[in-house]
Structure 1
Amino acid sequence: MFVGYVAFRDAAKPGRRRAFFLLLFSTLLMVVNPRWRRFAEYFPPFAVLFAAFALEPLVRRARERFTAREPAESDGTTNEGAPTGETGATDDARTPAPARVERARAWEFVLVGTAFVMLAAPLVWYARVTSQDIAGMAAPDSYRGGMAWLGDHADRGELIFNTDWDDFPKLFFYNPNFAYVSGLDPTYLLDKDQKLSELYAKLTIGKDLKDDEIANLGPLIRDNFCVGEGEHKRCARYTFSDHEHQDFYNNALDSGWFDEVYHDDDCSILRMRDQKGTPPPDNSPPDEQGDDSDEDDSQGN
């Protein structure tokens, strides 16, 4: 973009209108790119097109100057001073010498090669970084075990409360017979129901929940996240979470509304109870843990 801005001139000329349009469009993409990531794929090619159209007149003029033959001198006079009728010398002066044309082509090759190397070097680096990122991602079969358990124990068409929308492709791949609360992009849920989307984000992040909201986490999920109508209405009874949502996981178990029914190195599945009960021992409030330990001591005595 910087090269295009420096090289751009004379927007009003007919041949510069395309460059002017690309200047406006690529600048718009550059401005919105930090705010909306979905434009990241569009900005680079249009920025390159803008730079190419902005540089094209400069490259053309440089080529013409470099390949044009210098006026030949004869008897101390140049072709510019030749009589009007003597056009042979003038035509010969306008014809580029083969050697100059070859040198111009050589310089063009050098410049193109240099530009290619300068562009290829970052691409190689980006490819390496991307390969490292892919290597650090979850394995393709990371959720196979959890989805296999759900397939054996949950009813067909069950609504699964998945805590991360970008897990949806794997979940749907392993079992397309379930419905999932959010997937592909969080804006789908936001467009469907803004309040429900905000509640979903609040529950899954789990950092700003009040004590009464944690205590009623089960009903909050069961009463708000449902599909279907009438006798076909199904509300979420299972939650599927990776191990990056520890706040949600702890809040769910602390609430006394959930039991952990599946756990492996990649995911956890919680099933909602019909009634609120006692949290699992590791997730009981400190005062209840103290009461339990006192009872154990008294029984031991």
Structure 2
Amino acid sequence: MLAYRATLDVPRELVQHVAGLLRAERRARGTRRNTRRLTCFYQAMLALVWFRKGEDKTTLGAGFGVSRATAYRYIAEAVAVLAAQTPTLHDALRQVAADGWSHVILDGKLFDTDRLAETTTSVKGVSIDAWYSGKHRDFGANIQAIMRPDGLPIWTSDAMPGHLHDLTCAQHLDITGALYWAASTLDLPTLADSGYDGTGLGIHTPDKQPADGRALAVDNRAHNLLLRSMRCLGERGFAILTGRWRTLRHTTTSPRALGDIVAAALHLTHFEYRHLPQTR
């Protein structure tokens, strides 16, 4: 196997931040000094290379002089530590309101995974692939996210099977309940696309075309135009995550672990965007 020099295009401060979190985790576990193959700094580099470039873990481990199993374990540790830093949904909504933003944006995305053998029973009583999305015609995990009006994602959900619709995921994870609370208590309404139609007060969705084929009234068309013009920036949220952290574009790990992986990438994004209180 040949080795070559490469550059990791992340700020050194981010590597040091992740290394600090890993160091605290090692102390909490009671890990003895000089018993790990890599220092916290190089373990942080290993994890960030994986997030940034999405390289094969076996090859990546060889580049850092560790075995395949050690590379998997080191990356899993980093993912768990980073995911634990993300705020709860209620805390994220409170921070957005405190920062003076007028609304938040709700959206969902199917994160691509390998084909899976897990099956479930559909509402029609038919056995289907649990992680297959008929809408996207692909296998993956459904992740819900809340974005600020400028498109920065502030919170992401646990992974849900790909066959579920966005509204079903939002209701199952009680995201809708938190958003109702934000609208009534924090005066922070939510904008969403038509996939969330029927969510109720506080979550605004476009007016649908009448079933009889008639054109929408002028007021309804104006409402839809205004809603889409304000919501469109929210589409940047997932693009910020997948564009920066390439490992999110396709994963071969268990799709149930995608929630933590996306949450870890969210914390890295918050650090780079100075969205963390300690980095402001």
TM range (shorter): under 0.3
Structure of higher CA gyration radius: 1
**Which structure features the higher share of helix residues?**
1
TM-score, length of structure 2 as denominator length:
0.19
Q: RCO higher in 1 or 2 (8 Å CA, sep ≥ 6)?
A: 2
TM-score, length of structure 1 as denominator length:
0.18
